[in-house]
């Protein structure tokens, strides 16, 4: 992924049709890869928290949530550290 980021930076300021197409292609690939990685990470965290809830370990569930820095409504930026 890092090599794709470096290649994308290389094409960013190339003002030709080929440069724009390569930049867009790499940008889209990176966006897809990072979105998938984020989705997978959040699913893993969600499963872990739900397992704590299923087993009745509310203390671990709350600790994990606090560890992530989630204080309330994630749509409101004032709740993030």
pLDDT for the residue 75:
61
Q: Where are the domains of the chain?
A: 2-66
Tell me the mean pLDDT per 10 residues along the chain, length 81. 83 86 91 93 90 89 81 58 49
pLDDT for the residue 6:
82
Of 6, 10, 11, 37, which is closest to residue 24 (Cα–Cα)? 11
pLDDT for the residue 47:
92
C-alpha distances (whole Å) from 74 to each of 4, 15, 30, 34, 63 are 30, 39, 24, 19, 17
């Amino acid at each position: 992924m890092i090599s794709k980021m470096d290649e994308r930076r290389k094409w960013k300021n190339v003002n030709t049709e080929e440069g724009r197409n390569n930049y867009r292609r790499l940008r889209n690939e990176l966006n897809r890869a990072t979105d998938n990685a984020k989705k997978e990470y959040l699913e893993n965290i969600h499963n872990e928290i739900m397992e704590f809830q299923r087993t009745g370990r509310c203390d671990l569930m709350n600790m994990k949530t606090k560890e992530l820095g989630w204080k309330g409504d994630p749509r409101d930026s004032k709740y993030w550290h």
